[in-house]
Structure 1
Amino acid sequence: MSERASVPKEAEETESEPEQEPVTTGAQSVIRALENAGTDYVFGVQGGAIMPVYDALYDSDINHVTMAHEQGASHAADAYGVVTGDPGVCFATSGPGATNLVTGIADANMDSDPVIALTGQVPTEFVGNDAFQETDTVGITQPITKESYFAADSDTVGDDVSEAFALADAGRQGPTLVDLPKDVTQGETEVEPGRPETPETYEVPEEADDEDVQEAVEALAEADRPVILSGGGVIKANASSALREFAKEYEIPVITTMPGIGSFPEDHELSLEWAGMHGTGYANMAISNTDCMLAIGTRFDDRLTGGVDSFAPDAEVIHVDIDPAEISKNVYADYPLIGDARNVLRQLFDAMPRAPDADEWRDQCQTWKDEYPMDYDTPDDEPLKPQYVVEQFSEMTPDDTIVCTGVGQHQMWASQFWEYTEPRTWVSSHGLGTMGYGVPAAIGAKLAAPDQEVVCFDGDGSFLMTVQGLSVAVREQLDITYVVLNNEAVGMVRQWQDGFYEGRRMASEYPWIPQFDKLAEAFGARGFTLESYDNVEETIQEARDYDGPSVIDAHIDPGENVFPMVPSGGDNGLFALNEDQLDMI
């Protein structure tokens, strides 16, 4: 699978294009801007203030997917951007339409996912008068976007959209928004919008300073216990191939962050998989004992670091990031390298004087793998274990299968027990931790990569938040397999209550939940129930074989918890492998 599934921008610009009808309205200029940017899909919900834009979309070749809720539109656009590498686009009307997008926009902002949101707005003469379905969309979204624009003129609205599209994609990717007053989109114009271009004042650092690179590689070559920490920025920069080449050439063990899953193949002997609160014991041990860490495209968030003071205490840190604001924000960088991850990895590769002398260190990392394996028990007298369901799916599906999730225990099991070997195959909500992300994200992922299998693991709590998205998957005839790891609880909350609140389970368990297989059938999907080990493989295969969306309601052990676990703010090297050890930390 290619790192970026879409057509390269250079190719887009050189292809001959059919002659277009001239624009006559601001709304047509908005759609033309999206066409110029190569937009294939828009995810949205109609409404009064955005209606002129939808009317202009009527004559466009852009595909529109009508979502069941605006939050679903923003998550689908987000996932589309994660899988393709190019900005996903979502539409919503003013007021509640725009505010319903906010959760998805905030999610994309936290995870640096490329999204452009276009929102309807009341006519400019009514702005500030508390008109019907008016809200200050720009004011609400300014803190959670790279930029939010208020379109003020029919002649410039197309260029506003073009610039917003370019900005979402440039440098450190992220969401942008353009608020579209109805009189601006209905207004007349003959001005054709330009192609996407960032503002003249926006600069992206491409390569790190050569002297800084030389100092960094000398430190890395001298290390006895080196590790590479590969973050989500490696995938966003299409730097996975460069990372793999560097790590293999210089035989340095690789740890990923959770957003970095897939940047390095987990079946390779140098892989320690992912680190952090529920990362592998061996990854966390390596972090706690390394003497030199090459960290690429990571913001060192608290779920990775635990307590910052105890994070990699003996390590010199080489931090590669395209955003200078991330350097030494959470973890001090001894060697800051500001630039595009792929370019900087090439610089490091060319400058490395030699491989570190790290035979003993690699042996130690293998010893930790043997001491802290990712295993689990499957007693015959206990309910179905979720880890087994995930593992069986992983074994039965192609390597390029895309895995989407909601947020909770199921998300951790899906990241721990699926073997990831390719970038852009792990699609989840990380920084914001948005329950309900999975159902609409799978829709965006499948439309982004129609030839790849898409599996969505969800929890019963997370699934219920956006289950209406099943209607979209059915209507669009999308071949997606949804797996509800059903423990009749908001499982991660319940686990924390048991571990840190003396078992006081307040508002974390469901006294009643729907039968998800029957609910799926009501939506027009295919429903399955899974309750024992006897028919796991058969049910998985039957669900995969169904040509359309299917839902497996997997009734799992309600007492199963996620381990390993580093308590919040704790030392990565002091992780619990079970409940008894958690009590001792």
Structure 2
Amino acid sequence: MSDPVSPSFDAETEAEAELEPEPGEDPSATDAEPGRTGAHSVVAALENAGAEAMFGVQGGAIMPVYDALYDSDLRHVMMAHEQAAAHAADAYGIVSGTPGVCLATSGPGATNLVTGIADADMDSDPMVALTGQVPTDFVGNDAFQETDTTGVTAPITKTNYFADHADTVGDTVGEAFAYAAAGRPGPTLVDLPKDVTQDETAVEPGDATVPDTYDPQTEADDEAVAEAARRLERAEKPVVLVGGGVIKGDATEELRAFAREYEIPVATSMPAVGAFPEDDDLSLEMVGMHGTGYANMATTHCDVMLAVGTRFDDRLTGGVDTFAPEAEVLHVDIDPAEISKNVTADVALIGDAATVLDQLDAEMERAPDCREWRSQCWTWKSEYPMDYATPDDEPLKPQFVVEAFDEATGDDTIVTTGVGQHQMWAVQYWTYTEPRTWVSSHGLGTMGYGLPAAIGAKFAADDDQQVVCFEGDGSFLMTMQELSVAVRENLDITVAVLNNEYIGMVRQWQDAFYDGRHSASEYNWCPEFEPLAEAFGAQGFTVSDYDEVADTVEAALAYDGPSVVDVRIDPAENVYPMVPSGGANGKFALSEDQL
């Protein structure tokens, strides 16, 4: 009698037969490449999307992604703090126009990104945050370094994702990248549990695409365009108000052509600085709380306002009831939620800024007859010049320093700043002629933004493009550890610390509105910034006299690597013009006694 066939043998044989590939079939299409994980799919998705550089801090839960990066050509910049990683990615996105990427581990790594994510959200900057997370089975158990990252960041992201499988994580990251840049840009986040990034997968991520359900309107309604054109044609005192959406939407060429074709004066919000050349006769420069007197007068007295890509925030409008009280408002924005949110629109033009400006241009039959209005705007320029005094018996004025750096650098120089008085002097006294050269924190107003932003901007800039960072002493202290990154990477950036030994804007408000009671605003305990810079390995300078400024600026810019200039400025100097919070833009103050 022959031996019976073993059932286990039959099962093994059958299983082996099932695993045999069909003739012509690629075995790799069904089997995972040995060692290929969800983390490799994350990296492949970024490569497919066209990412080039990213900024982050290593840690336990994000470690699989960093291990996959080891074999990638993607440039990773290790930052000293996660908040700085987010700011660097934000600035990279502003300058490049493509999403910046930041990475952090779970728990405190993810929460340290929150300030930078919120900053990008307020300013509609394209950014992708990738955060490590505890393994899926541990989620909800208060595991070591666990945080509900998607819950924490839901209010401050365009959208966020919790990755749940190694097979799909790559496409999720690709979608997050595409979505961050589409329509109205903004930050997205993908939370990556460690088991998802460690598990093996045979699935290759596809191209980065937005969700099928996302289809922002790009062309404005034809009837609305016609109505807006007719109102512009009969305007006697028109103004174009430019918001940051013009730069985000790459609509600066269309804006410039439209304004010049119809000879309409142009005012910009702070995020839009550089969208229209400030040396153009039609430029009124920045409007709002610390805008020029002539921009605030023009927007107050105009009869038709073409507002493009602006959300009409309170620092722009002052009191909404007194903002452009005589104007018909024609509001162009790709986000319908912004229409009539703060300022009521008489005509809503929902669509992409460049497309809608082209539509308006095609519809316009003639330019408005506004020669007298342009003459009035030029008169206001002469009545309210942006000048300042430099008495010999007073310390160095910060405006002089900003102008000295501007004169010594090219038109395409990128300026980054922290937040405070130095930010206002940098935007007021530098002449901006190109888009994506002004990089700052607007809606969130984040102190410490300037130095990490300079690092991100430098990685996005052209090889021969200079980067100058203006910081205040208080703002610089918040992220100065990133000098170590600038030195390690040998980045040719120049930091000018406008040092008045105060949180200057707070001190200015305390003098104006709190009877000069300087509660917690004095910073006379700051370190010496020149030796501090040199301790990091950067080149340090100190300047306090007018006759030292030109040579110091030249030396700092000429240094091949990061340099820091400690500029000892007049501690009593204030930022003017100034519109008190909630005040009328047309009643701006030029001195403290006018507040």
TM-score, length of structure 1 as denominator length:
0.96
Secondary structure in 1 matching 2:585: coil
1:156 corresponds to: 168
> Per-residue displacement from partner, 1:347-395 (whole Å, max 9, x unpaired)?
1111111100000000000000000000000000000000000011111
Find the aligned partners of 2:213 and 2:406 in 1 and give their Cα distance.
46
Q: What are the equivalent positions in structure 2 for 1:433-444 lying under 5 Å apart?
A: 433-444=445-456
User: Quick check: 1:23–1:190 contact (8 Å CA) kept in 2?
Assistant: no
User: Quick check: 1:234–1:260 contact (8 Å CA) kept in 2?
Assistant: yes
CA shift for structure 1 position 580: 1.5
* Equivalent residue for 2:438, pick from 423, 426, 431: 426
1:554 corresponds to: 567
Find the aligned partners of 2:343 and 2:574 in 1 and give their Cα distance.
30
Does residue 553 of structure 2 align to residue 540 of structure 1?
yes
Find the aligned partners of 1:510 and 1:484 in 2 and give their Cα distance.
13
1:463 corresponds to: 476
Find the aligned partners of 2:34 and 2:282 in 1 and give their Cα distance.
56
1:280 corresponds to: 292
- Tell me which amino acid in the other structure corresponds to 2:509: W
1:205 corresponds to: 217
- Tell me which amino acid in the other structure corresponds to 1:509: E
Does residue 302 of structure 2 align to residue 290 of structure 1?
yes
* Equivalent residue for 1:481, pick from 494, 501, 522: 494
Unaligned segments of structure 2, at least 5 residues: 1-32
Cα–Cα, structure 1 residues 546 and 391, in superposed 2: closer, same or farther, change >3 Å? same
Does residue 332 of structure 2 align to residue 312 of structure 1?
no
1:249 corresponds to: 261
User: Quick check: 1:23–1:191 contact (8 Å CA) kept in 2?
Assistant: no
User: Quick check: 1:288–1:573 contact (8 Å CA) kept in 2?
Assistant: yes
Find the aligned partners of 2:182 and 2:35 in 1 and give their Cα distance.
27
Find the aligned partners of 1:319 and 1:447 in 2 and give their Cα distance.
35
* Equivalent residue for 2:244, pick from 232, 253, 257: 232
1:16 corresponds to: none
Find the aligned partners of 1:194 and 1:222 in 2 and give their Cα distance.
52
User: Quick check: 1:219–1:292 contact (8 Å CA) kept in 2?
Assistant: yes
Find the aligned partners of 1:550 and 1:220 in 2 and give their Cα distance.
49
CA shift for structure 1 position 22: 9.2
User: Quick check: 1:22–1:192 contact (8 Å CA) kept in 2?
Assistant: no
Q: What are the equivalent positions in structure 2 for 1:375-386 lying under 5 Å apart?
A: 375-386=387-398
Does residue 406 of structure 2 align to residue 394 of structure 1?
yes
2:233 corresponds to: 221
Find the aligned partners of 1:392 and 1:254 in 2 and give their Cα distance.
26
Find the aligned partners of 1:511 and 1:336 in 2 and give their Cα distance.
51
Q: What are the equivalent positions in structure 2 for 1:111-122 lying under 5 Å apart?
A: 111-122=123-134
2:378 corresponds to: 366
Secondary structure in 1 matching 2:402: helix
- Tell me which amino acid in the other structure corresponds to 1:338: I
1:131 corresponds to: 143
RMSD: 0.8
Secondary structure in 1 matching 2:271: coil
User: Quick check: 1:23–1:192 contact (8 Å CA) kept in 2?
Assistant: no
Secondary structure in 2 matching 1:511: coil
- Tell me which amino acid in the other structure corresponds to 1:476: E
Secondary structure in 2 matching 1:229: strand
> Per-residue displacement from partner, 1:453-483 (whole Å, max 9, x unpaired)?
0000000000000000000000000000000
Find the aligned partners of 1:415 and 1:487 in 2 and give their Cα distance.
18
Does residue 455 of structure 2 align to residue 446 of structure 1?
no
Secondary structure in 1 matching 2:272: coil
Find the aligned partners of 1:44 and 1:528 in 2 and give their Cα distance.
30
TM-score, length of structure 2 as denominator length:
0.94
The percentage of aligned residue pairs carrying the same residue is 74
- Tell me which amino acid in the other structure corresponds to 1:491: G
User: Quick check: 1:30–1:161 contact (8 Å CA) kept in 2?
Assistant: yes
Larger Rg: 2
Q: What are the equivalent positions in structure 2 for 1:45-64 lying under 5 Å apart?
A: 45-64=57-76
Secondary structure in 1 matching 2:207: coil
Secondary structure in 2 matching 1:466: helix
CA shift for structure 1 position 451: 2.4
1:269 corresponds to: 281
Secondary structure in 2 matching 1:214: helix
2:541 corresponds to: 528
CA shift for structure 1 position 23: 8.1
Find the aligned partners of 2:35 and 2:118 in 1 and give their Cα distance.
33
Count, aligned residues: 562
CA shift for structure 1 position 511: 3.1
